[in-house]
Chain A
Amino acid sequence: MKVIQKLGILLFLVGLTVFTAMPFLGNYTLTEDLVLANTKDIHQEKMAEILSPMFGETYTSNFSFIAAFKENFNSYNDPLKEESKWDEVIWDDYSFPLAQASVASPVRDNPWLFMVLSLGIAILGGLMYNLPKYREEPAGIKNNGIFHSSMKNRGWMGMITGAYLILFYIILYWFPAYIVNQVWMMTPLSMILSGNPASQWFLYGTIYTLAITVMGVRMFRKYRGNKYQQLRTASVMFFQTAFAFLIPEILVLLNQPYFDFKNIWPLDYDFFYDYQIDTFLSSGGVGMFMLIWGILLIVIGVPAFTYFFGKRWYCSWVCGCGGLAETLGDPYRQLSDKSLKAWKFERVIIHSVLVLAVVMTALTIANYFSGFALLGSATNQLHSFYGFAIGSVFAGVVGTGFYPFMGNRVWCRFGCPLAAYLGMVQRFKSRFRITTNGGQCISCGNCSTHCEMGIDVRWYAQRGQEIVRSSCVGCGVCSSVCPRGVLNLENGPEKNRINEMPIIIGNDSIKIHA
Chain B
Amino acid sequence: MSSNRHVVIIGNGIAGITCARQLRKLDEQVRITVISGESTYFFSRTALMYVFMGHMKFEHTQPYENWFWEKNRIELKEGWVKTIDFTAKNLLFQSGENTNYDELVIATGSKPNKFGWPGQDLQGVQGLYSKQDLELMEENTQEGVQRAVIVGGGLIGIEMSEMLAYKKIPVTFLVRETGFWDNVLPKEESELVGRHMREHHIDLRLNEELDEIISGPNARVKAVRTKGGEEILCQFVGLTAGVTPSIDFLRNTELEVNRGVKVDFGFQTNIPNVYSIGDCAEFHEVPAPDRKSVEQVWYTGRMHGETLGYILAGKKVSYKPGVWFNSAKFLDIEYQTYGTVPAKWDSEKIKSFYWEHAGGKVCFRMLMDPQGRILGINNLGFRLRHEFFDLAIREKWDGAKVISKLDKANFDPEFFAPFYIEIQKAYKGQFGGDVKISKKTFIQKLFGASV
A-side interface residues toward B, CB under 8 Å? 137-140, 143-149, 226-228, 231, 334, 339-340, 435, 437-440, 442-446, 448-449, 458-459, 462, 476, 479-481, 483-485, 488-489, 504-510
- Give B59's nearest chain A residue, CB to CB: A445
Q: How many whole Å from A236's CB to the nearest CB in chain B?
A: 15
Q: Assess A437 versus B414: contact at CB under 8 Å? Given A483-B334, A484-B336.
A: no
Give Cα A144 to B307, complex, Å. Answer: 37
Q: Which of B36-50 contact A (CB under 8 A)?
A: 44, 46-47, 50
Q: Which of B249-303 contact A (CB under 8 A)?
A: 298-299, 302-303
Instruction: With a 10 A CB-CB cut-off, give which of A334, A446, A509 has the most chain B CB atoms.
Output: A509
Q: Assess A438 versus B413: contact at CB under 8 Å? Given A444-B61, A484-B334, A506-B303.
A: no
- Give B44's nearest chain A residue, CB to CB: A443
Q: How many whole Å from B66's CB to the nearest CB in chain A?
A: 10
**Which residues of chain A are within 8 angstroms of B47 by Cβ–Cβ distance?**
442-446
**Which residues of chain A are within 8 angstroms of B413 by Cβ–Cβ distance?**
226-228, 476, 479-480, 488-489
Is B306 in contact with A446, judged by CB distance below 8 angstroms? no
Q: Assess A446 versus B383: contact at CB under 8 Å? Given A227-B413, A488-B411, A509-B303.
A: no
Instruction: With a 10 A CB-CB cut-off, give which of B200, B319, B329 has the most chain A CB atoms.
Output: B329
* A-B pairs with lowest CB-CB distance, top 8: A438-B386, A140-B332, A485-B383, A444-B47, A227-B415, A148-B54, A145-B54, A507-B303
Q: How many whole Å from B389's CB to the nearest CB in chain A?
A: 9
Give Cα A372 to B62, complex, Å. Answer: 57
Q: How many whole Å from A15's CB to the nearest CB in chain B?
A: 29
Give Cα A174 to B322, complex, Å. Answer: 65
Contact of A438 among B46, B310, B387 (CB under 8 A): B387
Q: Mark B364-403, 1 if CB is under 8 A from A, else 0.
A: 0000000000000000000111110010000000000000
Q: How many whole Å from B358's CB to the nearest CB in chain A?
A: 15
Contact of A445 among B61, B196, B302, B412 (CB under 8 A): B61
B-side interface residues toward A, CB under 8 Å? 14, 44, 46-47, 50, 53-57, 60-63, 65, 166, 196, 199-200, 298-299, 302-303, 306-307, 310, 315, 317-323, 325, 327-329, 331-332, 334, 336, 383-387, 390, 411-417, 447, 449
Is B336 in contact with A510, judged by CB distance below 8 angstroms? no
- Give B449's nearest chain A residue, CB to CB: A227
Q: How many whole Å from B70's CB to the nearest CB in chain A?
A: 14
- Give A444's nearest chain B residue, CB to CB: B47
Q: How many whole Å from A486's CB to the nearest CB in chain B?
A: 8
Contact of B53 among A144, A437, A508 (CB under 8 A): A144
**Which residues of chain A are within 8 angstroms of B56 by Cβ–Cβ distance?**
147, 334, 445-446, 449
Contact of A508 among B321, B331, B332 (CB under 8 A): B321
Is B323 in contact with A506, judged by CB distance below 8 angstroms? yes
Q: A438-B325, A488-B411, A507-B306 are in contact. List 17 more A-B contacts (CB 8 A).
A: A138-B199, A227-B414, A231-B447, A339-B65, A437-B383, A437-B386, A439-B386, A440-B325, A440-B327, A442-B298, A445-B44, A484-B328, A488-B413, A505-B390, A506-B323, A507-B320, A509-B317
Give Cα A506 to B288, complex, Å. Answer: 13
Q: Assess A147 versus B54: contact at CB under 8 Å? Given A138-B332, A506-B321.
A: yes
Give Cα A489 to B411, complex, Å. Answer: 9
**Which residues of chain B are within 8 angstroms of A231 by Cβ–Cβ distance?**
415, 447
- Give B394's nearest chain A residue, CB to CB: A508
29 A-B residue contacts at CB 8 Å? A138-B200, A138-B332, A147-B57, A227-B414, A227-B417, A228-B413, A435-B411, A437-B385, A437-B387, A437-B411, A442-B44, A442-B299, A443-B63, A444-B44, A444-B61, A446-B55, A448-B60, A476-B413, A484-B336, A485-B334, A485-B336, A488-B383, A488-B413, A504-B302, A505-B390, A507-B306, A509-B307, A509-B321, A510-B307
**Which residues of chain B are within 8 angstroms of A458 by Cβ–Cβ distance?**
63
- Give A339's nearest chain B residue, CB to CB: B65
Give Cα A459 to B315, complex, Å. Answer: 26
Is A439 in contact with B299, judged by CB distance below 8 angstroms? yes
Is A505 in contact with B302, judged by CB distance below 8 angstroms? no
Give Cα A231 to B303, complex, Å. Answer: 39
**Which residues of chain B are within 8 angstroms of A146 by Cβ–Cβ distance?**
54-55
- Give A458's nearest chain B residue, CB to CB: B63
Give Cα A438 to B166, complex, Å. Answer: 31
Give Cα A146 to B307, complex, Å. Answer: 38
Instruction: With a 10 A CB-CB cut-off, give which of A139, A226, A435, A507 has the most chain B CB atoms.
Output: A507
Q: How many whole Å from B344's CB to the nearest CB in chain A?
A: 25
Is B50 in contact with A446, judged by CB distance below 8 angstroms? yes
- Give A481's nearest chain B residue, CB to CB: B55
Is B331 in contact with A144, judged by CB distance below 8 angstroms? no
